[in-house]
Structure 1
């Protein structure tokens, strides 16, 4: 896909929605939002999945632009990157507004027909 009317890149929106379709990834994103920064090991301690599974989920979140991985010595620390999520929220808000306009138009037409 190409850039849409918001200019944020529909590829980004697609990647974010695909990444957030998994409840484990949403939970990881929530944990990182609470903690600010964490390693896969630290996150795995609070998750019902293995550290290896956490690393794989973090890779998907990283590819979608939702987190970044920063090496600090032997550790890799992950942090949330809100920009891709914000672009996705803008896209969703624009779609919701368009539907609201359509529904309002249908309502006006229905009210005119009933009079």
Structure 2
């Protein structure tokens, strides 16, 4: 967890492939009940719920009760932190590749 933020770290939340798959399923569905999510995995409802709890703690998933059913939807805003982090490294590699190309061209001359 991030010490400055009481919520779970978004990087920690997406580190697990099951949680990344949950995010994709929820995003594609718009809103989806727990039983439909559970049917997509070879694990029990409790295990899926634990993964969803981690995603909720990171702010990536919102839930609401509809009768006895819990439905989940994506809150993509926390993914901006990951996008920003990746953007820095994208620029880093682009700049380094440009420099490498320039060095190779200079050596050819």
The TM-score bracket by the shorter chain reads: 0.7 to 0.9
Partner of residue 65 from structure 1, selected from 45, 59, 62: 59
Give the match for residue 32 of structure 1: 26
Alignment partner of 2:18: what SS? helix
**Counterpart mapping for 1:44-83 below 5 A:** 44-83=38-77
TM-score, normalization by structure 1: 0.74
Shift of 1:107: 2.9
Partner of residue 94 from structure 2, selected from 93, 97, 100: 100
Distance in 2 between the 1:44 and 1:85 partners? 23
Distance in 2 between the 1:90 and 1:113 partners? 35
Q: CA RMSD in A?
A: 2.9
Distance in 2 between the 1:15 and 1:61 partners? 9
**Counterpart mapping for 1:1-12 below 5 A:** none
Alignment partner of 1:104: what SS? helix
Distance in 1 between the 2:53 and 2:3 partners? 23
Which structure is higher in helix share? 1
Structure 2 unaligned residues grouped into runs of 5+: none
Check 1:95–1:78 CA distance in 2 against 1; reply closer, same or farther (3 A cut): same
Give the match for residue 10 of structure 2: 16
Give the match for residue 6 of structure 1: none
Distance in 1 between the 2:100 and 2:58 partners? 37
Alignment partner of 1:69: what SS? strand
Q: Which moved more, 1:52-61 or 1:73-82?
A: 73-82
Shift of 1:113: 4.8
